[in-house]
Each structure stands twice: as C-alpha cells, then as structure tokens.
Structure 1
Amino acid sequence: MDAITPAILLLNLPPSALGGMDLLSFTTTPKFQGIKNIPPGLHFVFVGSTSTLSVRHGVWIKVNAPSSGPPDFFIRKWDTNSEELLPETDTTTLLQQRANLGRIWRDNLTPYRQSASQDSVATEETNRWAQLTDCISESLLARVLDTDAEDWTLTSSSSAKQDFNDIPGLSASDLTGNERELRVLPVDLKQTWREGATGRERTEAAQDRSWALADLTARFCNNDMNQIIGELQFCFVMVLTLNNYSCLEQWRRILDLILTCVNAVTTQPSFFLRTLATIKLQLQHGQDVETGLFDLSDDGATFLKSLLLRFKKSLERLPGDAHADVIDELDDLLAYTQETLGWQIQQGSFARTGMLSLEDGEEVEMDNTTFDEDDEAGEYAPTIVELSAEQMKLLGIDESVQQVMNGNKTPNLRDRLQKDQADAGRDGYQYEVQSDEESEKEVQAFDDDEEEELDLEDMDARY
C-alpha cells in the first residue's frame, strides 16, 4: 500500500451524487468514499444530492504541511434527512473506518491528482486553486463563517443578512433555520463618508470611496488589506463551487468599492495591483460557473465593464506617476477582456442610441442609459431641490438665503441694506448719499456675489 497521505472520507453519499474538491468536480460512484493525496493548504469539498441543480453543501478543511506526525485525516458523512455534510462523531464508526483504512485507501479513495499522464494538468489546476485563494486565511474563514475550523461549512443558500430578501425563490423566513448567516464585510455603498460629514466632504467621499475602504480595513480586518482581497476570493470560489447568490452580490459590492477609490491608488498601489491580478484570474474561470451567474459576454458584463472604464478615467486624471504600475496592470486586464472575452471597453465605444428590432419586424430607436452615471446625464444629472422652511432650518440656512433661493433676491437685499442703514443711523453713523443708479449697481454687484456663494453652499447642501 502506498504511504498514507492527507485524505477526507465522505460516507453515505447517495448514488450519482455531485462531488467536488477545489476546481475538480465529478459524479460519484458506489465505490467512491473520498479523496486522498491532498496537498497542503486550504481546500473546499462540496457535495450535492444530484449532479443537476440541487442545493450544494461544502466544508473548508486545512491540510497541514508534512511532518513527523500522522497525516491529516477528515471524516464527514452525508445526512439523508437534512441533506448536508456533517462531521462523523460516532466513536464506533470512527474506529471501524480507521481499522479498515488500508482497504478503503486502496479501493475507495480517488487521488487528488488523477494519474501520472494527467499530472501536469492536475498540477496546473492545483496551482490555479492556490492562486485563486492565496489571500483566504483561517482568520478570514472564522470571521465569515463565525465558527472554528471544525465547522467551516456552508451551502448554496447560505446568505449575508443584507441579501436575505434578494435570493431568487427564497425569503428571509426560509433562511432562518439551519442555514448559516455569512458574516461578510458590511460594505455600504450608500454611505461612504464618516459619521457627521456634511457638504463637500460627503460629496468627495461619495465620488472617491478611499475613506470607506480604509475604514472597513481598520474596523474589520486589523488594517490587513489582504483580507479585502481574501473575501473577494472567498465569494468568487463560493459562486464557482456552490452557485451561492449572496456571495455573488458581495463580490459585486467589494468590486464596486475598490474600483471607485482614487486617492488610495497612490497610497496603496500594491493592493490595487493584486486586486486587478485577482480579477483577471477570476475572469479566466468565470465561464466555469454552470448556472450562468457570471455572464461574461459583452452584453452581460455591463457591471464590470462600467466599473473598469470609470476606474481607468480616474487613474488618468491622477497627477504623478506613483500609480503607473496600476495603470499598466489595468491595461493588461482590459486587453485580456477584449482579446479573449470580446468586450468593447474603450472609451467612447459605447453606443448611446440604436435601433431595436421587435418580433414583428418593426424597428424602434432606443436610448442606452447604462453610462448616464458616468456622464452625469439622465437620472444622474444634477438637480435643484426646493427645500421647505423646516429643512432650511435644519441645514442652518437663514430666512434671507431662503428668499434668495426662491427668487426674491433684490427686494430682500434692499430691505436688508435699508435696515442696516437705519440701524447704523441710530448708532450715529453717517452714510454717503448716492444716486439711484449707483445704488442699483451696488445692490446688483452684491446680489451677484452672494448668489455665486449661495450656489456653492446649495451644491454642498444637496450632496
């Protein structure tokens, strides 16, 4: 018998079930009881009751590097009632399996790398898995899965709280039983500024989310930005293996946060280099998702295309060359999407209008509003909002400003000047007498200056 190596035993699997480990998946046979020769590192084992679209259950395991001690040996069993993988805790069963380990090892365990003829391919897949998960750590799994290493399990239906009502076909009440809540990073794209920020500070933080990225890293990742990439990787491989919808949503949120940062690119260029390399590697495997959750066609990848285009525009506006390597990495990623995936992502290449052919043969002209946000057009165009007196008071805008914003500018300013003159006259001050024409010019000049200042204040208030 070959030397015993790290292995996982999977007991009581249904016939023709779906089995998989990392990037490998297969249909099980009656003889199959597990996988041996598992290389060191973090691995993900998953099972579905059928090879079609059933709910999948998986478990993360940590295989230690070879040492003088016995190799790692994991035992899991399939519970037919709950249809999930559970740790084997029955002492009698554990003793029986260990007593029969020689026979099981020889006849019932499939090697992680299938054969010598396929060794180069298997080695490449092993390396790919290591690259796809190189930032996933034990501490990250403990945080996201909210448990220790003995129970790093999740399913296709496991969800973050913010996605409970968004999973197709499921509601929050369906997910409150035995399903595990995923404790992913609380990425809130609707508030990317500090508590108490107002005006221009909020506007800038909404356009450049560098503060939100730094805050998230400090509060939840111990200032380790690799954990941000690690969660991006975790979410991707959970979509790849389990078709987990909530992980897809979190993957999109993290990308939306990272690729809308500007100033952070100059202070953390290595983080963005690694992120872009991770995105490219993930796109190379995105077409492996069986359910089409990752639509990487030119039409289906609008979300990511728009993010990359805006990110490129932001980098081009940055002064200096501290981010030059990031631009090179981004150009390499864009070249891959064009040459391999067929994306049209160059600036100015998106059609704003076009003809749509209907089923009856009629053609109608349609407007493409996908990139209105980039151009501040359509629903994203700036608007002037008329505030109520109560809202004015809450924002600290006095009555005179309110009248100016409502269009009653000159009469109100004249009243203020006359009142100031009257008050000053009572205090013993004398005013030089001017003609009506000179007074009108002075009031108009004052009016124009104040209107310009109020426009800036109004802009800050609206944001």
Structure 2
Amino acid sequence: MMDERLANKLFEEGAFLFLLDIPIGSEVGIDFNCWRTAEKFKGIKMIPPGVHYIYYSAVDKQGCVAPRTGFFYNFNKKDVVVRRWNPEIEEVIDNCSHEETEVLKANLKNLDKHLGPYPFEMWKKWLSLSSKITAGVIRKIEAAPTKLLASRQTNPGTALNFTEIPKNFYPKGSNAGDITKYSMDTSFVLEQMLSLWESPSELLAELQMVFLYFVIGQVYSAFEHWKHLINIFCSADEMVIKNPSLILDFIGDLYFQMQEVPTDFFVDIISSENFLVKTLRVLFTNVLENYVADPQLKKRTLQFKQFVTQRFQWDFEAEPDDEAPVVVEMMENDM
C-alpha cells in the first residue's frame, strides 16, 4: 500500500486524466494496470509526470467487447487532461471546452472518489520499458503519415507511422563484394533509419513504443515492426565498432523487454521460425567474437546472453539449421 506522504505528493503534483461517458463495463487502463468501469467512474488520478500509455476497450449493450484502442500521452506536472467518449466513432476524443476543464480542475478533491489511482507499484517497471520515449517521438509515430514515415494500419480507424525500412540495403554504386557484405551486415540500413531521427535514442524509443503497442495495446503490426528492428540492430556488424554505445543501449532496452514477456511467449508465437534465437545468435557472434569490440559492450552482451539462456532455456551454442542470413529474407519481403 502507498504511504500517505507519497499519496499526498502524487495528488498535489501528479496529473489527472478524465475519461467521461465511457460505457459501463468497459476496460480502461494506463500502462500495466486496467479497470472495469463502474457507473461513477470518471478517470485516473495521481499519474506521475511523463509518458504513459492509455487504452480502452468499450463494451456494447449486448456485452461484446471491442478491440483495444490506445495512445501515448506525455503528462506534465499537475496536468488535467479531459477526454470524452464519442459513441458514433466509439473512441475517446478531445472535445471538452476550456470552461468544462476548468470546472473539473476546481473540483478535483470532490471528484477524488470517482478516479482510479495510478498503480504506483508498477511505475518503476514502466519507466524501464519507456525511458527513451518523448513527446516528439510520440507525435511522429502517432501523427499523420509523412514522406519520412511509413504508414502501417493497426486497429480500424488508427494508423501508426513506423520508421520506414529502406529498400536498398547497400550503398549506391556498391560492387559485388559490398553487396554480399551488406546482405549480412545491416549497418547501412540502420544508419539510414537513424538519419531520419534527430538522435539515435529516438529510434530506440520507437523500439520501446512498438514493444508496448504489442504487449499492452495488442497491435500485431507493432510486433512485426519490432521483429524488423531487432533484426537490424542485431545484424549491424559495423556498428559494433562505429557506435558501441548505441548497441549497448539497445541491449539494455532488450533486456528489460525480455524480463517482461512470459517464458513461453516466443515459443507460442514464433517457434516455427525460431526468430529470436537465430537473430540473437548473430548479435552475440558480432560482439563476443570481435577482438576489438568495446570491453564494456562485450561484458554487457555476455551478461545478456547468460540471462536469456537461463530465462528461456535457449541454446545459442548449437549449430544453426539454416546458414542463410536472416536479414536478407526480411529485406526481400519489404521490397
């Protein structure tokens, strides 16, 4: 149970999210916690400032539950955010007047009993999985498609604009040797994708977002994009030397993601193609067998290898069944 001093601090400094007119019995959630709405439910209180994922599944009069819909939102200190259910499109929208918002702000203490408290005990885990996500990255991923971003349809009526995976996986004018090299080494592809962002951490933020879109938001296209990103980062051999801090950060993010999923998660979804074992084997080889690789990167990679070996009982020492590079198949599918 949260102690009283922390509860008072979060009430005074945390954000409030009002979700008005949500159908009774709907599922409403933030980050890793969700509720079934009762008659007097009006929203969520004591939300720690920062990025959070809001989601909901409405229920109709027949008791049928709609697919989950969600969005990221960057809450500021003491924010009061108001959204209202629109029955025509079956989504929550921002159509509340300034006057209505001000009335809610003035009555926060009276409305306290109608608001579910943020699950503070889960906040540390949430931060470990969302630490790089910023308001700017959210705007790009959840905004209308642009020339730099590829639109991929998710739930009906929504679209997520994931960073486009380049069709050319080798530099222009490459000879046969270079083409062969870059069919196995995705460094050129990774550098092209990084160039679409202001900093490398923003592409890692996208990796965090697509993981959360799938695990919490149940968006399957996000899982597909997550697999592509994992392939590209793991197979970027040159980047081990050119940008070891990027690979180090990638491994750190992947470590927290692997802590979150159930041990049978990948067995159920992708055991037939053995995606992650094959891909991580490439990463471990690129780092641990590179004699000039950064020592700290080698140490972290070895620790991560030991962690996933123990948690998922994966064997990275066995000879792969197929010697064909994983990334070539991925690129051909995207061309």
TM-score normalised by the chain length of structure 2: 0.82
Structure 1: how far apart are the matches of 2:245 and 2:64?
41
Contact 2:18 2:83 in 1 (8 A): yes
Equivalent AA in structure 1 for residue 322 of structure 2: F
Structure 1: how far apart are the matches of 2:170 and 2:325?
20
The CA deviation at 1:39 is 0.8
Tell me the secondary structure at the aligned position of residue 93 of structure 2. strand
The CA deviation at 1:300 is 6.1
Structure 1: how far apart are the matches of 2:183 and 2:65?
40
Equivalent AA in structure 1 for residue 318 of structure 2: Q
Determine the structure 1 residue equivalent to 2:301: 330
2:115 aligned to which of 94, 109, 116: 109
The CA deviation at 1:34 is 0.9
2:56 maps to 1:79: no
The CA deviation at 1:43 is 1.1
Structure 1: how far apart are the matches of 2:207 and 2:65?
24
Contact 1:160 1:181 in 2 (8 A): no
Structure 1: how far apart are the matches of 2:273 and 2:215?
17
Determine the structure 2 residue equivalent to 1:63: 75
Tell me the secondary structure at the aligned position of residue 161 of structure 2. coil
Structure 2: how far apart are the matches of 1:44 and 1:209?
31
2:242 maps to 1:264: no
1:202 aligned to which of 179, 182, 188: 179
The CA deviation at 1:374 is 5.4
Structure 2: how far apart are the matches of 1:207 and 1:95?
58
2:278 maps to 1:306: yes
Which aligned pairs between 1:361-376 and structure 2 lie closer than 5 A?
371-373=322-324
Equivalent AA in structure 2 for residue 145 of structure 1: E
Equivalent AA in structure 2 for residue 344 of structure 1: D
Contact 1:19 1:25 in 2 (8 A): yes
Which aligned pairs between 1:173-252 and structure 2 lie closer than 5 A?
179-188=157-166, 191-218=168-195, 220-222=196-198, 224-252=199-227
2:23 maps to 1:14: yes
Structure 2: how far apart are the matches of 1:343 and 1:268?
28
Seen in structure 2, the aligned counterparts of structure 1 residues 230 and 300 have a Cα distance that, compared at 3 Å, is: farther
Moved beyond 6 Å, runs of 4+: none
Structure 1: how far apart are the matches of 2:206 and 2:64?
27
Determine the structure 1 residue equivalent to 2:34: 25
1:134 aligned to which of 131, 135, 140: 131
Tell me the secondary structure at the aligned position of residue 315 of structure 1. helix
Tell me the secondary structure at the aligned position of residue 318 of structure 1. coil
State the Cα deviation string for residues 242-274 of structure 1 (Å, max 9, x = none): 111121111111111111111110121111111
Aligned residues: 311
Equivalent AA in structure 2 for residue 310 of structure 1: V
Percent of pairs with identical residues: 20
Structure 2: how far apart are the matches of 1:245 and 1:345?
27
Structure 2: how far apart are the matches of 1:37 and 1:213?
39
Determine the structure 2 residue equivalent to 1:40: 49
Equivalent AA in structure 2 for residue 329 of structure 1: R
Kindly indicate which of the two structures has a greater share of residues assigned to strand.
2
Contact 1:57 1:85 in 2 (8 A): no
Contact 2:184 2:325 in 1 (8 A): no
Contact 2:15 2:47 in 1 (8 A): yes
Greater relative CO, 1 or 2 (CA 8 Å, sep 6+): 2
Seen in structure 2, the aligned counterparts of structure 1 residues 311 and 347 have a Cα distance that, compared at 3 Å, is: farther
The CA deviation at 1:56 is 1.8
Determine the structure 2 residue equivalent to 1:344: 315
Determine the structure 2 residue equivalent to 1:54: 66
For the pair shown, the structure with the greater C-alpha radius of gyration is: 1
Equivalent AA in structure 2 for residue 57 of structure 1: T
Seen in structure 2, the aligned counterparts of structure 1 residues 326 and 81 have a Cα distance that, compared at 3 Å, is: same
TM-score normalised by the chain length of structure 1: 0.61
Structure 2: how far apart are the matches of 1:316 and 1:9?
50
CA-based RMSD: 3.0
